[in-house]
Amino acid sequence: MPLEPCDNWFRLPRMSDTGQVLPNIPRGASAARRERDALPYEPVCAVFRRYLHGRKLKFTPERAVILDAVLRKPGLFEAESLAADVKQAGPRVSRATVYRTLTHLQDAGILKQVFFDNKQSYYEVLAGRQGHDYLICVETGKVIEFDSERLQQLRDEICKQHGFEPLSHRFQIFGVSPEGRKSAERKHGG
């Protein structure tokens, strides 16, 4: 999904291009007016700028670089890999700024932090993207994202049976990958 310029930054394609809507997040004193005048989608940078403005924070060039790097991530990512990407992009951005900005992006509803165990956390962009389901190897920590039409159909069927309207779901399968089995065999001499 190509990103389009937005106030010298980026925004998601229009709803007609993707069939997805980024919900408006009104904040501040004129929230009712903005909600009334809002488009059915909102550029990601505008959501983040509004969030920052509501907390009396600035949309700095460093935050813009971090937002750009986050939006370029295709799936799950670790904070350290994002910090490395930002470092390669050129401008000097501290690791602390990356972590603080990740927290702000979470609070703004642009991404979420995903924990599979107590050892490692990952991040996933929510804005304008469909969620994924995961296979997690308990031996190696390897995570595989997958999408399943059958799983979504089952979710919809279960919701219909109980009178629910599905908004989202999270499905995680914990198991042992082929690499994890080999590693376990080596540890136990088998």
Q: What is the pLDDT of residues 99-132, one digit of tens each?
A: 999 999 999 888 888 876 666 788 888 776 666 7
The domain boundary, picked from 84, 114, 129, lies at 129
Q: Average pLDDT in the 52-74 region?
A: 91
R_g over Cα of the chain: 19
Same domain for 179 and 161? yes
pTM, two decimals, is: 0.56
Are 108 and 184 in the same domain? no
Last residue in a domain, options 76, 100, 129: 129
Range(s) of the domain holding residue 35: 1-129
142 in the same domain as 108: no
Q: Could you tell me if 151 and 106 lie in one domain?
A: no
Same domain, 10 and 98: yes
User: What's the domain count of the chain?
Assistant: 2
> Same domain, yes or no, for 149 and 121?
no
Q: Which of 96, 114, 129 is the last residue of a domain?
A: 129
Same domain, 67 and 161: no
Between residues 88 and 60, the one the model is more confident about: 60
Quick one: 1 and 22 in the same domain?
yes
Counted residue by residue, the chain has a size of 190
> Can you tell me the mean pLDDT for 8-15?
36
Do 82 and 116 reside in the same domain of the chain? yes
Same domain, 32 and 45: yes
Domain harbouring 107, CATH code: 1.10.10.10
Alpha-carbon gap, residue 98 to 26, rounded angstroms: 25
Residue 8 has pLDDT above 50, yes or no: no
On whether both 148 and 102 belong to a single domain, the answer is no
Q: Average of pLDDT values for 56-82?
A: 90
Beta strand spans in the chain (E):
4-6, 9-11, 111-115, 121-125, 133-137, 143-146, 172-175
Backbone angles phi, psi at 136, to 5 degrees: -125, 125
- Are both 32 and 116 inside the same structural domain? yes
pLDDT number for residue 26 = 36
CATH code of the domain covering residue 172: 3.30.1490.190
- Contact present, 47 and 109 (Cβ < 8 Å): yes
Which residue has better confidence, 42 or 146?
Answer: 146
